[in-house]
């Protein structure tokens, strides 16, 4: 664990910790990945393309607000749980699939539930996916360290329960 390194910014405003720099970089990375991937997803299913744009813009806005000023604990909480939401959405998309996403109509345009429109396209995990996912998970951990003590403990507990639930569902075979 590193010590808190504080240094003056060139504007002479408030000081920003290294951890906060890392958080900004991680949020920006996730934002760029979502925006770059959006057009491809739009082609498959417009709703997913729009979701990518929205997520990307929110992540960019979050990175910017961290850059501007010392974030309030409340903003950090928003960052943590927003990012957790994105991570969970991704997990659902790679496992049980997003509800209402298009399938392959067969036999007179009836839908085969759970069949992706693009073969093996939707449940594959590529290097970009993995990089983004790791960045988001790291962002959550870094942001956690920025919270005041009490809030930090509560949030850590929340994250733990969230993680245990995922493990539980995976063990029960609900996430395949």
Partner 1 sequence: MKLSRRDLLKAGAFAGAATALPLQRMVSGIDAFSRRMPASKLPTPYSVPFARPKSATPVMSTANKDYFRIDMRATQLEILPGYKTVTYAYNGQVPGPVIRVNQGREAIVRHTNMLPKVHDRLAYEPWTSVHLHGSASLPQYDGYASDITRPGESKDYRYPNFQPARTLWYHDHGVHHTAQNAYQGLVAMYIMSDPLEQALNLPSGEYDVPLHIGDAMFERDGNLLFTLDDASGMWGDVFLVNGRPWPNMQVKRRKYRFRVLNNCISRSLDYRLSNNAPFHVIATDGGLTSEPLEVTHIRHAGAERYEVVIDFSNYTVGTKLQLLNTSPQNNRDYPNMDRIMQFEVTGESFTTLDNNLPPVLNPSSPVMALQESQAVATRAFRFRRIGGAWTINGTTWADVVSSNYQFTLADPLKDSVEIWSLENPSGGWFHPVHIHLVDFQILDRNGAPPQPWERGPKDVVYVGEGEIVRVIMKFEGRGRYMMHCHNLVHEDHDMMGQFNVVDPAQAGDDPMGTLAKPIAQMGPLVP
Binding residues for partner 1, rule: CB under 8 A, are: 1-2, 4, 19, 39-40, 43-44, 84, 87-88, 90-91, 94-95, 102, 104-109, 115, 117-121, 123-127, 129-130, 133-134, 137-138, 140-142, 144-145, 149, 152-153, 156-157, 159-160, 162-164, 166-167, 170, 175
User: Which letter, b or e, does each residue of 98-119 get, where b requires 16 or more Cβ atoms within 10 Å of its Cβ?
Assistant: beeebeeeeeeeeeeeeebeee
Contact between residue 45 and residue 143 where contact means Cβ atoms under 8 Å apart: no
Tokens 């408030």 correspond to 14
Q: Which residues pair with 17 in a beta bridge?
A: 6
Quote the least distance from Cβ 12 to partner 1, whole Å. 25
Beta carbon nearer to partner 1, 12 or 25: 25
End-to-end CA distance of the chain: 35
Contact between residue 63 and residue 89 where contact means Cβ atoms under 8 Å apart: no
Quote the least distance from Cβ 68 to partner 1, whole Å. 21
Quote the least distance from Cβ 78 to partner 1, whole Å. 17
Quote the least distance from Cβ 153 to partner 1, whole Å. 7
């Amino acid at each position: 664990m590193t010590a808190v390194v504080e240094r003056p910014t060139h504007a002479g405003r408030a000081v920003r910790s290294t951890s906060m720099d890392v958080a900004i970089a991680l949020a920006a990375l996730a934002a760029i990945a979502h925006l770059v991937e959006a057009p491809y997803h739009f082609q498959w299913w417009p709703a997913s393309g729009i979701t990518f744009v929205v997520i990307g813009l929110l992540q960019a806005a979050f990175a910017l607000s961290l850059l501007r000023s010392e974030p309030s604990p409340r903003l950090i909480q928003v960052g943590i749980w927003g990012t957790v939401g994105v991570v969970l959405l991704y997990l659902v998309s790679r496992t049980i699939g997003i509800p209402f996403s298009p399938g392959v109509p067969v036999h007179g345009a009836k839908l085969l539930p759970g069949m992706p429109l693009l073969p093996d396209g939707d449940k594959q995990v590529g290097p970009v996916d993995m990089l983004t996912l790791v960045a988001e998970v790291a962002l959550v951990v870094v942001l956690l360290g920025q919270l005041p003590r009490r809030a930090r403990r509560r949030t850590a507990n929340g994250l733990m329960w969230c993680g245990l639930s995922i493990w539980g569902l995976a063990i029960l075979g609900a996430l395949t």
